[in-house]
Amino acid sequence: MREIHPGACYVIEAEMGCGKTEAALFVAYKLLEDHSATGIYFALPTQLTSEKIHVRMDDFLSKIISDSTRKESLLIHGEAWLNWSTYCDNEDGVATAKPDSWFYAPKRALLAPFAVGTVDQALMSVINVRHRDLRAFGLAGKVVIIDEIHSYDTYTGTLINELVRHLKDWGCTVIILSATLSAAAQKKLIGSPNSGSTTIPQAYPLVSVQDSIGQRLSIPINPLCRKSVKIINSTDELACINEALCAAAGGQQVLWIENTVQNAQRLYQTLSGAAVGTTIEIGLIHSRYPHEARAANESRWVSMYGKDGSQERSLRGRILLGTQILEQSIDIDADFLITRLAPSDMLLQRIGRLWRHGSLLQRPKDAQCKTIVLHTAFFDPAVDLYVSRYDDLPYERYVMVRSQEIWWQKETIQIPEDIRPIIEGTYAERLEQGSISKLKAELDNRVRSMRQQALVSASSTMNVMDDDAARTRLNDQPQIRLLLIAKNNHGDDLSDKIWMPFSDAPVILPLPQATIEEKKAVLKKLYAQMIKTSEYCAPSYDSFTLDEALGSLMYLGDRNFRPIRAAYLDHSGFLLDKASNYSGHKGVRLKYGKKLGLQTVRDEP
């Protein structure tokens, strides 16, 4: 980069897997070297992505900081405090207090000089919550890196725009990273190229800079790598299944990404049955596993599909099925990709997992850099698309229609040259007619509502909220954590110990007078075995109350929302309430299996 500008706002747009994280850390390093920044906060969209970048941040710090000072960053997200260890063993084996343990508190964590966490932690500095000024002080003067900026909805995106505006006032240098940012979104973040123009430069990759006095620079960057991707559009799921099996039989590492957990589970069962008697290995990754099991499963598959997995890749062909988890911040490389139709930016992110390391990995001789886009149906504009608009959840039907228009006519795409035209072709404003205009109007209204709600949350005119009441995300499907317990808890009292089906020993619950460290140790064991899922895919709280067992140990919510749920797990894998009735609702039962994770089973009519 030609020149580093303290107090500037950078937007780095470049293809997936080309080193945007390293570029951002280089800018941060130069600012630290020149004493133009007081630290770094790296903000990610999810706990999982922040944990992965946390490892890379510590590696970065170990190379730039002298041996006499701390080389670790603080991990900050909703559950990170469980791993904040106040004490460490010195060379004599004696536990001593860590010198920086003062930062180990939710409201003080952002004061740590180096930290990685979710963007929500930074957003608490602009939402009207208690101690937001302390959080703002913690960010002031730092380099704040915001990754995967394209992944947020309008509500959170509006809050991020407010955050960026404040960060500039607080003397921060802001670095925003994305592979698939639209022109309109870029303009909101960094403004127009100059005072007399609203044209956004079309170069890609591109670094856009707004310096501390408002001057705008646009710096085109030469692509580090190019690839041509063959695109096949299909509506035939069975043909895709056969293609995946054929490629895996030839030794390829196939990646198949679905939009819903239910579809991924269904296809896993189908492909597993079809692969019986072959050497093909079938894997499944989604969010509805206990945290500990999910982490172990992801680690295993990422190592095989990663750049260091050459030896494992050569042993057999594989098919890895998964959901949106596989789209970003996971370094996997597939020989062949099948993906359900999704919004164009998500499809491009998925294609970013295809031949990610190019010629660095040895591939089977028949492998091509190829993607099949699987369309559930063709969106015919002559049909009333408004009636069935919810069939495409979690995505908006209008965006899906616009995306299909782009992809249906593609036979090949060039990375990175085609990224910007595809994004603009999908998201550029235009007039619509017929049922598509109804879809657009409904989406526009929802976007306006989310933007207004976000501005209200950031307004100083509303009442100050507690942290628990603050909303950094709008979610139509609230997330809960589900604790599965061995049937009837093996006869033991739930207020004394909890037997979980994934462990050979019970978790002994602490007494009310136990120390904080003792309670944290128990909470870590419980959280490690909990499943994070949507509220609709969870038993009701009233069917399995936890107040007596866990009320003194963790926050169980109130009548409006219960973030922790529980159920017994019987020997056949079905979830039961305390009265041994099946857990579920509206003709749906809940079931858990080691291979499929948490699933919904519809009762026969």
Summarize pLDDT for 120-132 with one digit per residue, the tens.
999 999 988 888 8
Say yes or no to pLDDT of 469 above 80. no
Query: What phi, psi does 193 have (nearest 5°)?
Result: -60, -35
Burial category of 538 from C-beta neighbours within 10 Å (exposed 0-12, middle 13-18, buried 19 and up): buried
Spatial contact of 205 and 14, defined as CB atoms under 8 Å apart: yes
- The pLDDT score that the predictor gives to residue 392 is 87
Average pLDDT value for the chain? 89
Give the CA diameter of the chain.
Answer: 77
Q: Where are the beta strands (DSSP E) in 499-605?
A: 507-508, 531-534, 564-569, 575-576, 584-585, 588-593, 597-602
Question: Per-residue confidence at 221, pLDDT binned at 50, 70, 90?
Answer: confident
Q: Which residues pair with 75 in a beta bridge?
A: 116
At residue 114, does pLDDT exceed 60? yes
The whole-number pLDDT of residue 95 equals: 47
Domain 227-415: CATH superfamily, name plus number:
P-loop containing nucleotide triphosphate hydrolases (3.40.50.300)
Work out whether strand 588-593 and strand 584-585 pair parallel, antiparallel, or are unpaired: antiparallel
As a whole number of angstroms, the distance between CA 44 and CA 76 comes to: 10
Who contacts 416 (Cβ-Cβ below 8 Å, separation ≥6)? 14, 15, 18, 204, 205, 223, 226
Three-class SS state of 252: coil
Q: How many CB atoms lie within 10 A of CB 453?
A: 16
From its phi and psi, is residue 7 left (phi > 0), alpha (psi between -120 and 50) or beta? left
Mark residue 446 as left, alpha or beta (left: phi above 0; alpha: psi -120 to 50; beta: remaining): alpha
The residue length of the chain stands at 605
Q: How far apart are CA 123 and CA 408, in angstroms?
A: 38
Predicted local confidence at residue 86, as pLDDT: 63
Residue with tokens 């997992």: 353
The count of other CB atoms within 10 Å of the CB of residue 53 is 23
CA–CA gap between residue 98 and residue 100 (Å, rounded)? 6
- Higher-confidence residue of 218 and 116: namely 116
For the domain made up of 9-220, the CATH class stated in words is: alpha beta
- The per-residue DSSP string of 361-420 comes to S---TT--SEEEEE-SS---TTS-TTTTGGGGTTS-HHHHHHHHHHHHT-SEEEETTTHH
DSSP-assigned letter for residue 221: -
pLDDT band at 308 (very low <50, low <70, confident <90, very high): confident
Residue 335 Cα distances to 34, 194, 253, 339, angstroms: 43, 43, 5, 13
HSE at residue 573, side-chain half, CA atoms within 13 A, is 11
- Among 314, 189, 198, 206, which Cα is nearest to 253's? 314
Say if CB 531 and CB 290 are below 8 A apart.
yes
Q: How confident is the model at residue 94 (pLDDT cuts 50, 70, 90)?
A: very low
Q: What is the mean pLDDT of residues 392-421?
A: 94
pLDDT for residue 481 is more than 60: yes
Number of neighbouring beta carbons within 10 Å of residue 359: 8
Three-state secondary structure call for residue 66: coil
According to the model, what pLDDT value does residue 329 have?
63
pLDDT over threshold 50, residue 255: yes
Mean pLDDT, residues 574-596 = 90
pLDDT at 193: 53
What's the rounded Cα separation, in Å, for the pair 85 and 517?
9
Helix ranges (H only) for 65-191 are 119-123, 132-139, 154-169, 183-190
For position 198, what pLDDT does the model report? 46
For residue 151, name the pLDDT band (cuts at 50, 70, 90): confident
Judged by DSSP in three states, 74 sits in: strand
pLDDT of residue 152: 87
**What pLDDT score does 98 carry?**
62
Euclidean distance between CA atoms 494 and 571, whole angstroms: 19
pLDDT at position 88 over 70: no
pLDDT the model gives residue 150 = 86
Alpha helices in 140-182 (DSSP H): 154-169
**DSSP tag of 356:** T
Contact 406, 422 (CB under 8 A): yes
Domains 9-220 and 227-415 share a fold: yes
Q: Is the pLDDT of residue 3 over 60?
A: yes
> What residues pair up with 209 in beta bridges, in sequence order?
10, 217
Q: Please say whether the beta carbons of 158 and 451 come within 8 A.
A: yes
What's phi and psi for 537, nearest 5 deg? -105, 40
The pTM of this model reads 0.91
DSSP code of 111?
A: G
Q: Given a cut of 80, is residue 81 above it in pLDDT?
A: no
Q: Token pair of 466, please?
A: 């507690």
Bigger pLDDT: 189 or 509? 509
Distances (CA, A) of 107 to 110, 564, 572: 7, 23, 45
Q: Which residues contact 473 (CB under 8 A, 6 or more apart)?
A: 120, 153, 155, 156
The burial of 521, by beta-carbon neighbours within 10 Å (0-12 exposed, 13-18 middle, 19 or more buried), is given as middle
By 3-state DSSP, what share of the chain in percent is helix, strand and coil, each rounded to 5?
A: 35, 20, 45
Lowest average pLDDT, out of 125-129, 447-451, 507-511, goes to 125-129
Q: pLDDT digits over 319-341, tens only?
A: 999 999 898 767 899 999 999 99
Of the candidates 454, 182, 120, 185, which has an alpha carbon nearest to the alpha carbon of residue 343?
Answer: 182
- What pLDDT band is residue 101 in, cutting at 50, 70 and 90? confident
Tens digit of each residue's pLDDT (9 = 90 or more) over 170-213? 999 999 999 999 888 888 888 655 544 445 557 899 999 998 88
Rounded CA separation 274/256 (Å)? 15
Token pair 């991707």 is found at 229
**What are the boundaries of each domain within the chain?**
9-220, 227-415, 479-602
Q: Look up tokens 């992944």; give the residue.
A: 151
Report how far residue 159's alpha carbon sits from residue 46's, in angstroms, rounded to the nearest whole number: 16
Report how far residue 236's alpha carbon sits from residue 377's, in angstroms, rounded to the nearest whole number. Answer: 10
Q: Rounded distance, CA 282 to CA 317, Å?
A: 9
Q: Does residue 38 contact residue 28 with C-beta atoms inside 8 Å? A: no
- Cα dist. 54→72, 79, 336 in Å? 9, 14, 29
